[in-house]
Structure 1
Amino acid sequence: MRVLIAGAGRLGTQIAQVLSAARNDVTLVEYDDDRVAELDGLNQVRLLTGDACDPGTLERAGALACDLVIATTGRDEDNLVIALLAKGRFGVARVAARVNDAENAWLFDERWGVDVAVPAATPLISLIEEATGATDTVALLRLSKAGVEVIETAITARSRAAGRTLGEIQLPAGTVVATVVRDGRPTVPGPGVRLLPGDELLLVSHEATEREIHAAFQ
């Protein structure tokens, strides 16, 4: 599947990493040169500097051949313009757009080219599954055939795990930490990694429930 993601903030970057790891062809568009430089070398993701609200930028990013466009910028007005261009000008089959302000949710519908409106608080896994329209697209995250689940949990200032190292956390049996995402970038989950508020963890388990995993960190 060819995917174009507009906005290389934490959310857009995470989606790009997951979908590219699931062997999709992913292009990530970001207008901030410094942010693009930070992400240089992002595995299996094509980076493009430019304003995704500009039709020329979308065309250079491959919108004409895209199966899915996901607008994840921090501005609702930008996400709506990107969605409208993707659907109306480039005929993209499926368009998902992030809703940053809940009061604007009523705008995110077919009139603006939005097939899937995603509230900002939607968990990463749920967002990707809904945006792609099929759970098998993200088999990396749902390994049901092997009896394995990947569960997401976020560290807040109130989390019991905040300030502790991974080595100090007693994980449920059959569970390992796959990655710690910090500031939009994955961190190698060694035992010495100290968890900070804002960190997002993806854990792989074939025995523990989501409640048990959250209890270990929250």
Structure 2
Amino acid sequence: MKVLIAGAGRLGTQFAQVLSAARNDVTLIEHDESRCAELAAMPSVHLVAGDACEPAVLECAGAMTCDLVVAATGKDEDNLVIGLLAKRQFGVGRVAARINEAENAWLFGPQWGVDVPVPATTPLISLIEEATGATDTVALLRLSKAGVEVIETAITEDSRAAGHLLGEITLPPGTVVATVVRDGRPTVPSPDERLLPGDELLLVSHEATEQEIHGVFH
């Protein structure tokens, strides 16, 4: 599946990492060049710096041939414009758009090109299921065609992994840490990343169970 995501905040970035780990073709658009630089090392995700409200930017990012567009910026007006352009100008088959302000929810519908309205409080699992049409849920999400599980775990004061470098942790076969979220900001971790209490980890695995992941970190 070819996916185009507008907005590299926490939700958009996690969505991109999960779908790219499941071997989808993912492009992430972000207008903030410094944010793009932060995410430059994100594996298997194409980054495009620009304003997704501009048709030329959407076209350059591949909107004409994508299967799904996710408008995940922090501004409702931008998400509506992106949704409308994706549907009306580029004929995208499925468009999901984030609702930041509840009072604007009534706008997020077919009249603005939105197939899947996503309230800001929607968990990642629900966003992925609704946007992609995935129905096979295991742990956070199992993408049935790819056989991939996405498992989330949190580091606490009592976690055996707290204070250790990520490279010191022996993960189950076929498992990678896709994201470390610290103070609300997702990063692509390196083996030298020291895990701290409060960190949230998003792992992608072809084989491990949720219990096995919990055993490794706790």
Question: Scaled by the length of structure 2, what TM-score is found?
Answer: 0.76
Match of 2:52 in 1: 52
CA RMSD of aligned residues (A): 3.5
Find the aligned partners of 2:193 and 2:53 in 1 and give their Cα distance.
Answer: 42
Match of 1:110 in 2: 110
Match of 1:184 in 2: 186
Match of 1:11 in 2: 11
Counterpart of 2:196, as a letter, is: R
Is there any run of 5+ residues in structure 1 with no aligned partner, and where?
A: 156-160, 170-174
Distance change >3 Å, CA 138–CA 54, structure 1 → 2: farther
What is the deviation of 1:181? 2.7
Counterpart of 2:33, as a letter, is: D
Match of 1:66 in 2: 66
Match of 1:78 in 2: 78
Distance change >3 Å, CA 186–CA 136, structure 1 → 2: farther
* Number of residue pairs the alignment of both structures matches: 196
Match of 1:194 among 183, 189, 196: 196
Contact 2:136 2:143 in 1 (8 A): no
Contact 1:7 1:72 in 2 (8 A): yes
Match of 1:172 in 2: none
What is the deviation of 1:102? 1.1
Counterpart of 1:184, as a letter, is: P
Identity among equivalent positions (%) equals: 66
Contact 2:96 2:117 in 1 (8 A): yes
Deviations 1:66-109 (A, max 9, x none): 10000000001100000000001100000000111111111111
Counterpart of 2:29, as a letter, is: V
What is the deviation of 1:191? 11
Distance change >3 Å, CA 36–CA 12, structure 1 → 2: same
Counterpart of 1:122, as a letter, is: T
Distance change >3 Å, CA 144–CA 195, structure 1 → 2: farther
What is the deviation of 1:201? 3.3
Counterpart of 1:110, as a letter, is: P
Match of 2:159 in 1: 166
Distance change >3 Å, CA 44–CA 165, structure 1 → 2: farther
Counterpart of 1:117, as a letter, is: P
Answering whether residue 123 of structure 2 is matched by residue 123 of structure 1, we say: yes
Match of 1:33 in 2: 33
Distance change >3 Å, CA 138–CA 76, structure 1 → 2: farther
What is the deviation of 1:154? 6.5
Deviations 1:146-202 (A, max 9, x none): xx96444678xxxxx3xx263178xxxxx9896433312244699961122xx4334
Contact 1:99 1:117 in 2 (8 A): yes
- Of 177-186 and 122-131, more deviation after overlay is shown by 177-186
Q: State the secondary structure of the residue aligned to 2:20.
A: helix
Distance change >3 Å, CA 191–CA 41, structure 1 → 2: closer
Is there any run of 5+ residues in structure 2 with no aligned partner, and where?
A: 163-170
Find the aligned partners of 1:189 and 1:125 in 2 and give their Cα distance.
Answer: 26
Find the aligned partners of 2:11 and 2:28 in 1 and give their Cα distance.
Answer: 11
Match of 1:134 in 2: 134
Find the aligned partners of 1:25 and 1:95 in 2 and give their Cα distance.
Answer: 16
Counterpart of 1:85, as a letter, is: L
Deviations 1:21-79 (A, max 9, x none): 10111110011111111111210111111100000100001100010000000001100
